[in-house]
Structure 1
Amino acid sequence: MDLFSGTTMRVLEKSLNGSQLRHRAISENIANVDTPNYKAKKVSFQDVLKKELDSSSTLNAYRTHSNHLEFKSSSSHPSIIQEQTSYTHNGASVDIDQEMAELAKNQIYYNSLIDRMNGSFSNLKMVIRGGS
């Protein structure tokens, strides 16, 4: 039995990977803010996470009430990194204010994932110590 192969840990790992990819794309956008004809990149992480969860096939859903939402899988997923098409005066599509806001939002998201992962490890540590 692998202690770190549970659904929660796999989802947290995929989420951290997505956050890292988003950070890299935002950093590239900020670095190229003045590069003529540069097209900003955006990571659509939610689609990537859905694809990973669909492919793992270990997440089974059971509806206990008819008003609960169904878990549906879709065979078509958009690409992970998409190029933006709005342009500035030099042909670039980077809005520095938007990128800085996305960077801050991604940092908060990343920190919340790390806190959740630390909580999982603390629970595991408590179990190993026998509840003390």
Structure 2
Amino acid sequence: MTNTTDSVFGLNAQALALWQRRSEVIASNLANADTPGYQARDVDFRSALQQASGESSQLALSTPSAGQIGAAGSDADQLKYRVPMQPSMDGNTVDTQVEQAAFAANTVHYQASLSFINSTIQTLRLAITGGNN
């Protein structure tokens, strides 16, 4: 993302991408609800957003040469295993009710981020046109 986009939309554009990724992960969990041994995953939104915004509460790793350690903010760093409320006999940790509730909440967050971006665009459009349509 460019610096111009970051300065105009702030964290909302990055949050929107993370909400989208989380909906994909939750949909994958729901699709594999009957797969034996499947481990439900979820996006650690707080750490993923910190990585995307460049803020970090942890010290950065130093490497003696370029390319030694994979890029920060990789998918593996953002995805965490979901702790099951009730273990199943086949090792699957997907609870469809929990996943559906998480998907619904994620949809609300996605829509909120999208609304913030749309309102910013509308404000910019109003500033450019001076109120004339």
Count of residues paired in the alignment? 115
User: What's the counterpart of residue 35 of structure 2?
Assistant: 35
Aligned 8 A contact 1:54 1:73 in 2: no
In the TM superposition, residue 46 of structure 1 has moved relative to its aligned partner by: 1.3
* One-letter identity of the residue aligned with 2:18: G
Partner Cα separation in structure 2 for residue 40 and residue 8 of structure 1: 36
SS in 1 for 2:77: coil
Aligned 8 A contact 1:38 1:93 in 2: yes
Aligned 8 A contact 1:39 1:84 in 2: yes
SS in 2 for 1:35: coil
In the TM superposition, residue 10 of structure 1 has moved relative to its aligned partner by: 4.3
RMSD of the TM alignment (CA)? 2.4
Flag structure 2 segments of 5+ consecutive residues without an equivalent: 61-72
Q: TM-score, normalised by structure 1?
A: 0.76
Equivalent of 1:75 in 56, 59, 68: 59
In the TM superposition, residue 3 of structure 1 has moved relative to its aligned partner by: 9.2
1:61-97 Cα offsets, whole Å, 9 max, x none, are xxxxxxxxxxx74227892001234331221000100
Partner Cα separation in structure 1 for residue 3 and residue 49 of structure 2: 22
Aligned 8 A contact 1:41 1:82 in 2: yes
In the TM superposition, residue 8 of structure 1 has moved relative to its aligned partner by: 4.9
User: What's the counterpart of residue 89 of structure 1?
Assistant: 89
Flag structure 1 segments of 5+ consecutive residues without an equivalent: 56-71
User: What's the counterpart of residue 104 of structure 1?
Assistant: 104
SS in 2 for 1:7: helix
In the TM superposition, residue 12 of structure 1 has moved relative to its aligned partner by: 1.4
Partner Cα separation in structure 2 for residue 13 and residue 42 of structure 1: 20
Percent identity, aligned pairs only?
A: 25
Partner Cα separation in structure 2 for residue 50 and residue 7 of structure 1: 16
Aligned 8 A contact 2:6 2:13 in 1: no
Runs of 4+ deviating beyond 6 Å: none
Partner Cα separation in structure 2 for residue 24 and residue 118 of structure 1: 22
